[in-house]
Every structure is written in C-alpha cells, then in structure tokens.
Amino acid sequence: MQFVVGQQLREPVGTVTHYDIRESKPLPQGEGSLSELTGSVDLMRTDEGILVSATLHCTVAGRCSRCLTDISYPLTLTFQEEYLPTVDASTGEPLPLPTDSDAFLIDRHQVLDLTEAVRQYRLTAEPMQPLCKPDCLGLCPHCGYNLNEGPCGCSEQETDARWAALAELAGNIEQEQES
C-alpha cells in the first residue's frame, strides 16, 4: 500500500488527507496470506513528516493450532506511525537521516509505503494460537483423528485401562487390610 506524498509534504502542518482503502489485488494464497485490505488511512502533515493513522480490516488464512484445519479469521489493524521524508519535498535535496534507525521513511520519490508497518502490526495483532472454534477438541494424541468429527475410540480404551488399574489397586488395599 503506497501513497505518493510529495504534494502532501508541501502543505501546511495539520493538513489531513483521507483515503478509503480497498485493495483487492490478488494476494498469494496459503497460510499467513491476507485477503483484500479495507479500511481507511489518514495522512496528516506534521512538523517533521507525515503521521499515518490507519484502521485496516483483512482476513488472514491460517491453521487451527489444535486440529490443524485450514481456517481464516478477520483481523483489524489500528496504528499510528510518523513517516519521515528523506529528501526535501521542494528542493529534492537529501535530508539528514533520523537518528532513530527504526523510524519509517518516505523514499526519495516521496512514496510512503505502508507494507512494512502492516507487516509489523499484523505480527502483534495475530493470535498466537488461532482456533477453528473456541472449544475445538483438537487431534487425538494417539491416532491423530480429528476429535471434532467424533470420538476415535482410543480415549475409551485408555479410560478402561485406568479404571482397571484403580480397581486392581483397590483390590490390593482390601487384601492388605484383611491380612
């Protein structure tokens, strides 16, 4: 998502330009990919550069962390970042680079590119362990069956085995008491 801000940089401090975003270019498919981005971006001229206020909605393709089913979930990114120019908008002369090396920069063609900011804010907004549904049952640790589709049979056997062990233990205790 790029904005050419040469004109914006020549406007008085405080000037706001509003953009409605609807990026529908095809995005790569597969895990982690985004659907189209929608939302709004405001660019405000500041003393030093341009303050971006963005609210973006997208859909992320992912995988349920419990049952590994492909899922997609909506994500909203809201952020404010100031972008600093690298050349003077009027003269085209290079400007001294900001001391903060993490600062977002407007390139020498006066293009303000939101791609990196979107990437960074996505990382913090995305759930660590996305789920297909809040009560996803996950996979059976023994046979790998997706337990959302029904019981696999392993769990019943395991429970039986545990009861049997308990019963045996109980039997031993009784015997000890008798002797």
Residues at the interface with Zn ion (CB under 5 A): 64, 66-67, 132, 136, 140, 142-143, 145, 152, 154
CB 76 → Zn ion: shortest distance, Å? 22
CB of 134: closest distance to Zn ion in angstroms? 10
- If the CB atoms of residues 143 and 164 are measured against Zn ion, the closer one turns out to be 143
Length of the chain measured in residues: 179
The order of strands in the sheet holding 37-45 is 16-23, 37-45, 50-63, 70-85, 104-106
Q: Based on CB atoms, which residue is closest to Zn ion, 41 or 136?
A: 136
CB 113, CB 107: distance < 8 Å: yes
Q: Who's near 74: CB < 8 A, 6+ residues apart?
A: 57, 58, 59, 60
Is the Cβ of residue 112 or residue 132 nearer to Zn ion in the bound state? 132
What is the three-class DSSP state of 107?
A: coil
Name which of 44, 42, 82, 76 is nearest 58 in CA terms: 76
C-beta of 92 vs 151, nearer to Zn ion = 151
3-class DSSP assignment, residue 43: strand
Q: Tell me the closest approach of the beta carbon of residue 148 to Zn ion, in angstroms.
A: 6
Least distance in Å: CB of 67 to Zn ion?
Answer: 3
